[in-house]
Amino acid sequence: MTGRAIADHGVLLVADLQSEALEFLLHRYGLELVVQESGTSITGSFWGDSEAGIRGHTVYVRRDTPIHSLLHETCHIVCMSADRRSRLDRDAGGDDLEESAVCYLQIVLADELAGVGRDRLMRDMDAWGYSFRLGNSRDWFRHDAADAAEFLMNHGLLTGSGEAAFRLRQ
């Protein structure tokens, strides 16, 4: 999505938050955040434009990268197996259940960022065009995501109380 299209959607961007808060969140997982120069192609971006990129244990963004994209790609790294992570360059792969777990965890992690929170992130996800069987991210998260939460708990990525465990899948 171009900078103008992002502005039309009104989603939170990397530029809207303190980079230290974003770096700290990723650091809790042992991941690195690299903020690249405006106008450059984002390293490891699957979708291009302003979408976050991933390579190994690193998430790449620009200041115009949406926060939901940064969180989504971070959660791909967290949710994939160590073997896939060791070869990761751009394409996270995975199956539908893992993709659902990624979406679930990004919503949980939004609460770790001051000024974001799960309600705002879900509005941004809906505005961006994420698609869920129940029509929006809120209804999916509340009523149709038990399999995603179970995936996260089974892999030790979510606590029994529904909080992030801040560890990578092994």
pLDDT in tens, 24-52: 999 999 999 999 999 999 999 999 999 99
Contact in structure between 159 and 148 (CB atoms under 8 Å):
no
Instruction: Find residue 45's DSSP bridge partners.
Output: 53
Per-residue pLDDT band at 143 (split at 50, 70, 90) = very high
Determine the pLDDT at residue 9.
67
Q: What is the mean pLDDT of residues 50-71?
A: 98
CA dist., res. 151 & res. 145, Å (int): 10
Supply the pLDDT for residue 85.
97
Q: Is the pLDDT of residue 138 over 70?
A: yes
Whether the predicted pLDDT of 146 surpasses 60: yes
Nearest Cα residue to 99 out of 35, 168, 52, 147? 147
H-run or E-run covering 60: strand 58-61
Separation CA 165–CA 10 (nearest Å): 30
The chain-wide mean pLDDT, for the chain, equals 94
